[in-house]
Amino acid sequence: MRNYLIAGNWKMNKTPSEAVQLAKEILTLVKDSDYRVMVAPSFVCLPGVAEVLKGSNIIVAAQNMAGTEEGAFTGETSVLMLKDLAVDAVLLGHSERRHIYGESNEQINAKVKLALKHGMMPVLCIGELLEEREAGKAETVCFEQLEKGLAGVSEKELDNVVIAYEPVWAIGTGKTATPDDADAIHASCRKKIAEMYSAAAAEKMVIQYGGSMKPENIKELMAMENIDGGLIGGASLKADSFASLANFNK
């Protein structure tokens, strides 16, 4: 079995004190989860949340980072700053970064490589828009995001990469891809990884699903052969709901 990862993306929600409170509540509820668990608070919430979760089974992730280590980049946050806070993972290429802030595959690729260089786990988010799905281009879009996002990443480095397939039309909309539809894209992406790297690399690759995942639908999604976890927005903002996700098998 692949090493499932259940992750909460808190987006631009929670003040630093609310985030600390949420982290404390989650910690008590998910300490016996059978899976890897991760939370991604906003930058200003990271110090407090990292302190609460220090030494626990919960991985702390950032929601983004700069594509260079340091310098004159007003408003950006560096991998070195995140490492100093004991942040071990980073979401990269989330659809809100791609579509609201115009991040390109090339910029995302620079961030993926920088994260890997510093021993951080990048969660590379990919996924198609509704019009791309309706035009039959879902796979083509995801393949391009995979190829360009992973350009220059070696097979050895790939061990520390997670992919999150998030159809953009399912994020925050309440519309979930059916388990079969989601699994079909996950399977195609796994095949693509096999072509880009090797069958062994594809078999090991953790591919999360994201898009209105919640306690009511996680079991049917996780029952699919190629779905290895979830990247969860809305349903990760309450401790009991997130704990139900992290403990979905209990």
Which residue numbers are catalytic? 94, 166
* Measured distance CA(90)–CA(168) in Å, rounded: 19
Given 113, 234, 245, 246, the residue binding ligand PEP (CB under 6 A):
234
Single-letter amino acid code for the residue at 189: C
Q: Does 166 bind ligand PEP (CB under 6 A)?
A: yes
| Binding segment (CB under 6 A) for ligand PEP, from list 98-106, 127-135, 166-174, 192-200 | 166-174
Whether the CB-CB separation of 76 and 115 falls below 8 Å is answered with no
CB of 62 to ligand PEP, least distance (A): 14
Q: Does 233 bind ligand PEP (CB under 6 A)?
A: yes
End-to-end CA, the chain: 17
CB of 72 to ligand PEP, least distance (A): 30
**DSSP string of 2-70, one letter each residue:** ---EEEEE-TT---HHHHHHHHHHHHHHHTT-SSEEEEE--GGGHHHHHHHHTTSSEEEEES---SSSS
* Block residue for tokens 């700053």: 81
* Measured distance CA(212)–CA(199) in Å, rounded: 30
Nearer to ligand PEP among residue 60 and residue 235 (C-beta): 235
Nearer to ligand PEP among residue 202 and residue 214 (C-beta): 214
Given 224, 232, 239, 246, the residue binding ligand PEP (CB under 6 A):
232
CB of 232 to ligand PEP, least distance (A): 5
Positive or negative torsion for Cα 13, 146, 104, 162:
positive
CB of 235 to ligand PEP, least distance (A): 6
The residue count for binding ligand PEP (CB under 6 A) is: 14
Phi, then psi, of 152 in degrees rounded to 5: 80, 0
Q: What part of residues 10-49 is at the interface with ligand PEP (CB under 6 A)? A: 11
Given 54, 140, 172, 219, the residue binding ligand PEP (CB under 6 A):
172
CB of 212 to ligand PEP, least distance (A): 4
**DSSP string of 138-195, one letter each residue:** HHHHHHHHHHHHTTT--HHHHTT-EEEE--GGGTTSS----HHHHHHHHHHHHHHHHH
Closest CA to 150 of 207, 99, 230: 207
Given 171, 185, 202, 224, the residue binding ligand PEP (CB under 6 A):
171
Binding mask 195-214 for ligand PEP (x = CB under 6 A): ---------------xxxx-
Q: Does 127 bind ligand PEP (CB under 6 A)?
A: no
Residues near ligand PEP, by CB under 6 A: 9, 11, 166, 171-172, 210-213, 231-235
